[in-house]
Amino acid sequence: MVLSLVATLSSCSATLDAHYGRPVYARSNGPVRVIDDPDLPPVPYLSPRQVGKIKAIRRDERMKVDYLEQRKRDILFELDRQGHYRRPRGYDDFRRNRLQNELQKVGFRINQEHRRADNRVYSVLTNEQRGYWRR
């Protein structure tokens, strides 16, 4: 009997505190959210248009990052698809160098971890994707 009373009181404590100006904790699946904290300044009112602008800015930033990531992948794919094994020396070098410069512009530097001992770039493809030249 006493235990059940304690359990009920502890579950109600967050709502009871609301009367004394303390934060009220909302139930959510995530972490506890503070609904009304008197120490925080009031949230500024944003018109729907302002909210839309903020969302658009954030979306553009996300898309920019996605674009750079995608470009990096495309370039790595290109670098890997033109295999360096059975081609004569210097066959595709100008193209490969251009792609690597482009990679540097995108902000992806091929450093020592990305190179093999013989200075080839690590593979980003599986053997099936790699095609005839790599067999």
Kindly report, residue by residue over 36-78, the tens digit of the pLDDT.
556 666 667 788 888 888 888 888 888 877 777 777 777 777 7
Phi and psi angles of residue 53, each rounded to the nearest 5 degrees, phi first: -65, -45
Do 124 and 82 contact (CB within 8 A), yes or no? no
Range of the domain at 26: 2-34
pLDDT at 124: 55
For residue 43, tell me if it sits in a domain. no
For residue 98, tell me if it sits in a domain. yes
Q: Domain count for the chain, please give it.
A: 2
For residue 42, tell me if it sits in a domain. no
Distance between CA 118 and CA 121 in Å, rounded?
9
Same domain, 83 and 117: yes
Same domain, 6 and 67: no
For residue 41, tell me if it sits in a domain. no
pTM for the model stands at 0.26
Same domain, 52 and 74: yes
Same domain, 123 and 95: yes
**pLDDT tens readout for residues 85-108:** 445 555 555 566 666 667 666 655
Same domain, 72 and 25: no
For residue 62, give both structure tokens.
């996300």
